[in-house]
A and B are shown apart, each in its own frame.
Chain A
Amino acid sequence: MAVWPTDQTMRANDINFILATDCGSTTTKAILIGRQGDEYRLQVRGEAPTTVEAPFEDVTVGVRNAIAELEELSGRQLLDDDGQLIRPAQNGTGTDVYVSTSSAGGGLQVAVVGLVRRMTAESAQRAALGAGAIVMDALALDDGRRPHERIERLRRLRPDMILISGGVDGGEERRVVEMAEVVAAAKPQPRLGSGFQLPVIYAGNVAARTRIAKTVQDVTALTVVDNLRPTLEQENLAPARAEIQEEFLRHVMSQAPGYSKLMQWVDADIMPTPAAVGDIMQQIAADQGINIVGVDIGGATTDVFSVFEGVFNRTVSANLGMSYSITNVVAATGLNNVLRWVPGDIEAGDLENRIRNKMIRPTTVPQWLEGLKLEQSIAREALRLAFEQHKQLATGLKGVQQERDIADAFQQTRAGEETLVDMMRLDLLVGSGGTLSHAPRRIQAAMMLIDGFAPEGVTRLAVDSIFMMPQLGVLAQVHPEAARQVFVRDCLVPLGTCLAPVGQGRAGGPCVVITFTDTDERYEITAGELRRIELPEDTTRPVTIDPARRYDIGAGRGRAVKTHVQGGAAGLIIDARGRPLELAAEPEQQRLAARQWAQAVELYPEVQ
């Protein structure tokens, strides 16, 4: 595989054109980035159906088609007559760098095995998720299953790889060997291809390595890395994550149709799509010194990413999505929870059938306003549920360097239940996926994010316009500055800022006073109200936010905050509905409230 720079003499300054693709399960998306003076900017984007499946069974066919669309749109020839990439860029043709991510074929699917569900198994789960995997199951001694049930489960799963963790270094070995015996007894088969052994990564107690090897090496392809939980007080996920990605390339990608060719084309390792998104988010959080939550709501799954105080977490809600899994969202939350977000009346009679018809015809789009309102209401619940799951996993003991003293360790369960996600400290909430990025009005995307995530205090909102984060994530591996510039200038569409005081008060009573200190404009907002104030994109204005005594906007109850608020297509949204966000109990009242809120922010055309 080529490792950048292909030409050792090529330096970042020599790079004028960058081609990046993201090979998804259904669509391959390509972007062309070009340098204009000192700036890297998105030039064009193109897409084509992914061709991993029959009749093509070669991912590079779809990649070439997507690149061909870039050629048409940009007028720049990128492929030669033989269909090969022209490199380096010269005389109006070719590209200097080509990188790619992939989630085709269902992405990277991993089963994790640990000892204690809330300790090593959870750490292993975090390692796998952080590497961009879907965790198919987490087996542990206390998972409530009997050994033969675990064996049967592993045999049926057919994952791409298994990650075994367990035990602190130098600790007792017997239990982790017991779990390895489960893996060996299952004789697990890989999902793709039958001519090789399933990759197994051992990241547990170093003292048990020899016995683990003896137990599983005859039936699996074993690799060993540092313990991901070397002591009770320390989590060390990086080596396991790196090995998962290495195995992804070595075994999974090389088995997928056409990937051996694609791996020769790229100038950096192909990354699992979610891993690339995680990388770019961490980089932006570090660059700007901010806390970020990002969400990608897709047809089948919803990924949530967070970076708080530099600690990265990712979760995948495997069956919360807006087309393939839309019925599951409604089943998980209940139809009544969906309907509470629908402004006004909706014909309820045939709703269940309509939702299922979206599941089986996933590419259809709402044609009538009522259909759009229903889908956006379901999206709010999908986001809310996915974020709940994220908060449950984004808990204590994160990162390599996080040390806890032994007193904390004795309180493992309690400490582990405290989420790292602190909405009051959240600076930026980014949404992506068709439902958010392609919402007809940007305010609709903003309100889905606000209702789904319930941000507190002062939070900037944005959407990834065309879901470029994967390509920028892998680009950051080879040219971080170009990735950063395109992310800031072309990727994020600022929606505006949400001000949401924490607290509850009597409806109609005082909640918060907003004063723009540059003009002395003053807005008094009452409890229960939702208000939208125009604030154009590229505008930042100084404000004083003065909450009533029951409310906290970030400095404590009743204490004013002076800050700057950033504009966007949705403007400044003041959410005085209270936190936690409690909706009316009666369906009639819920629909009335939803209608009032929709009118207040001009959510839909009919209620302006």
Chain B
Amino acid sequence: MAQAYTPGLTVAESITIRKERRLPLTGQVKVSVGDVVAAEQVVAETALPGNVTTINVAHDLNVNTEEVPRLMLKSEGDSVQTREPIAEHKALWGIFHAVSRSPMAGTVENISPVTGQVLIRGPAVPVELTAYIDGTVVEVLGDEGAVVECQGALVQGIIGIGGEAHGEIMIAVDHPAQPLTADLIVEDCRDKLIVGGAQVTLGALQQAREVRAAGVIVGGIDAAVLDKLLGETLGVAITGDEDVGITLIITEGFGELPMAQRTFDLLTTHTGEQASLNGATQIRAGVIRPEVIIPHPSSAEVPPEPTITELSVGSPVRLIRDPYFGVLGKITALPEELQKIETESLVRVARIRTESGDQLTIPRANIELIQQ
């Protein structure tokens, strides 16, 4: 392919951000186009069908399945309470008396003469969908949700854990290469988005959870620490549903990797401001990156920033594969012809001058553009 490189993650100070907020089922949208909404404001709501349980009434009453409808005390659509009789069978002038009771409160949904089973559905589960970001409703998606737009800063991470959260940005380290350790997490971190540096320890994550921080954003994480946090190995990078008590965003990758200076500087600029964050990640088709959004309404028109899509001489890049993982540099040449690398693979390469002045030849697939 002509473009064998990884487009960089977005780190932008001011761009237009749109978030589609869609219910899992159709429901009621509570906002209109033009409404100004707060991150935690409900924009749409619905009721998910309640949990269900099946009762083997034919078995309970010791009768044939086709007899069940005749022996029911309740009809389809009737409400029932926990332990309430739903069917009974009396035989031999009442000497044999069997009762079938509902194990849960709900509604009788189905009485099957074929299987002799009765389906009880619990109360509907209300679902409220918040705006997630402070912004303006720019589109209503029928009876399914809305699109909220804001002007603000956006930091995309490479992988995250946990779902949506909100918190005030708090810088816990002195520089982006400093690891985030437990002693840096204090009581004041409650409800905050804690910004760390090169790595986060398991103790720091546990402490952040303990003080009920909203989230942690940091450059790297050791694979073993993440496994311990999750209680299992993360086999595929599809996340967001984890229930670990905190949202975690990794900006660079696995290992001790300083947060990119630009990312660290941007977050520092917004210290004390409210941010929306989401650890949901999907590194497959339909890629989803974890993110931190810092809305900062501006009356001034901000022209959209051009997205760099082509490698060119002079482009700032980051190397994203060992043995040079994390090294920054600039492209000095883009040879057209394929080159044989140490593995004997023939690949398209770029010549890079690193920040420390080294000249390297790197497969283009192992280069990430840094968006300026």
- A interface residue numbers (CB < 8 A to B): 25-27, 47-50, 52-53, 104-106, 147-148, 151-152, 155, 173-175, 177-178, 181, 184-185, 187, 189, 194, 211, 300, 319, 324-325, 327-328, 331-332, 350, 352-357, 359-369, 371-372, 438, 440-441, 605
Closest chain A residue to B282 by CB distance? Answer: A324
List of 9 A-B pairs having minimum Cβ-Cβ separation, nearest first:
A328-B235, A25-B285, A440-B344, A353-B254, A352-B223, A331-B233, A147-B54, A353-B255, A356-B254
Inter-chain residue pair count (beta carbon < 8 A): 167
Kindly list chain A residues whose C-beta atoms are within 8 Å of the C-beta of B363: 364-365, 367
Closest chain B residue to A373 by CB distance? Answer: B343
A361/B320 contact (C-beta < 8 A), A353-B254, A367-B366 known: yes
Kindly list chain B residues whose C-beta atoms are within 8 Å of the C-beta of A352: 223-224, 254
B side interface size, CB within 8 A: 58
Pick from A175, A327, A328, A357: contact of B255, CB under 8 Å = A357
Q: In the complex, which residues 109-150 of chain B have their Cβ closer than 8 Å to any Cβ of chain A?
A: 109-110, 112, 114-117, 119, 121, 144
Closest chain A residue to B25 by CB distance? Answer: A189
Closest chain A residue to B323 by CB distance? Answer: A368
A362/B283 contact (C-beta < 8 A), A178-B115, A440-B344, A441-B344 known: yes
Q: Is the CB of A325 within 8 A of B236?
A: yes
Q: Is the CB of A350 within 8 A of B255?
A: yes
A185/B119 contact (C-beta < 8 A), A27-B1, A151-B52, A360-B254 known: yes
The B interface, classified by DSSP as helix, strand, loop or mixed, is: loop
Closest chain A residue to B326 by CB distance? Answer: A357
Kindly list chain B residues whose C-beta atoms are within 8 Å of the C-beta of A52: 285
CA distance A211 to B65 in the complex (A): 14
Kindly list chain B residues whose C-beta atoms are within 8 Å of the C-beta of A185: 52, 109-110, 119, 121
CA distance A462 to B325 in the complex (A): 35
Q: Is the CB of A361 within 8 A of B285?
A: no
Kindly list chain A residues whose C-beta atoms are within 8 Å of the C-beta of B223: 352-353, 355-356
CA distance A185 to B119 in the complex (A): 8
Kindly list chain B residues whose C-beta atoms are within 8 Å of the C-beta of A361: 6, 158, 253, 320-321, 368
Given contacts A327-B235, A364-B6, 7 further A-B contacts (CB under 8 A): A148-B51, A319-B235, A324-B237, A357-B255, A361-B6, A366-B345, A440-B343
Return 14 A-B CB contacts under 8 Å, by A number.
A50-B285, A174-B115, A175-B115, A185-B52, A189-B24, A194-B144, A327-B236, A328-B236, A353-B255, A357-B255, A364-B366, A367-B366, A440-B344, A440-B345
Closest chain B residue to A320 by CB distance? Answer: B235
A327/B233 contact (C-beta < 8 A), A361-B253, A441-B344 known: yes
Kindly list chain B residues whose C-beta atoms are within 8 Å of the C-beta of A440: 343-346
Q: Is the CB of B54 within 8 A of A148?
A: yes
Q: Does B84 contact A (CB under 8 A)?
A: no
- B interface residue numbers (CB < 8 A to A): 1, 4, 6, 24-26, 49, 51-54, 65, 109-110, 112, 114-117, 119, 121, 144, 158-159, 222-224, 233-237, 253-255, 283-287, 320-325, 341-347, 362-363, 365-366, 368
Kindly list chain A residues whose C-beta atoms are within 8 Å of the C-beta of B144: 194
Kindly list chain B residues whose C-beta atoms are within 8 Å of the C-beta of A26: 285
Q: Is the CB of A319 within 8 A of B54?
A: no
CA distance A47 to B362 in the complex (A): 23
Closest chain A residue to B224 by CB distance? Answer: A352
Kindly list chain A residues whose C-beta atoms are within 8 Å of the C-beta of B346: 440
Pick from A53, A181, A189, A324: contact of B119, CB under 8 Å = A181
CA distance A438 to B266 in the complex (A): 41
Kindly list chain B residues whose C-beta atoms are within 8 Å of the C-beta of A360: 158-159, 237, 253-254, 283
Closest chain A residue to B116 by CB distance? Answer: A174
Pick from A152, A178, A368: contact of B117, CB under 8 Å = A178
Pick from B115, B237, B284, B343: contact of A369, CB under 8 Å = B343
Closest chain B residue to A26 by CB distance? Answer: B285
Kindly list chain B residues whose C-beta atoms are within 8 Å of the C-beta of A438: 345
Q: Is the CB of B283 within 8 A of A359?
A: yes
Closest chain A residue to B320 by CB distance? Answer: A361
CA distance A327 to B159 in the complex (A): 14
Pick from A50, A155, A181, A441: contact of B115, CB under 8 Å = A181
Kindly list chain B residues whose C-beta atoms are within 8 Å of the C-beta of A357: 253-255, 320-322, 325
Closest chain B residue to A327 by CB distance? Answer: B235
Q: Is the CB of B236 within 8 A of A359?
A: yes
Q: Is the CB of B343 within 8 A of A367?
A: yes
Closest chain B residue to A441 by CB distance? Answer: B344
Kindly list chain B residues whose C-beta atoms are within 8 Å of the C-beta of A53: 285-287
Closest chain B residue to A52 by CB distance? Answer: B285
CA distance A324 to B234 in the complex (A): 11
A300/B110 contact (C-beta < 8 A), A189-B25, A365-B363 known: no
Q: Is the CB of B343 within 8 A of A181?
A: no
Q: Is the CB of B236 within 8 A of A211?
A: no
Closest chain A residue to B226 by CB distance? Answer: A356
CA distance A151 to B122 in the complex (A): 13
Pick from A147, A211, A367, A441: contact of B341, CB under 8 Å = A367
Distance in Å: Cβ of A38 to nearest Cβ of chain B: 34
Q: Is the CB of A367 within 8 A of B254?
A: no
Pick from A50, A178, A187, A324: contact of B283, CB under 8 Å = A324
A319/B236 contact (C-beta < 8 A), A177-B112, A181-B115 known: yes
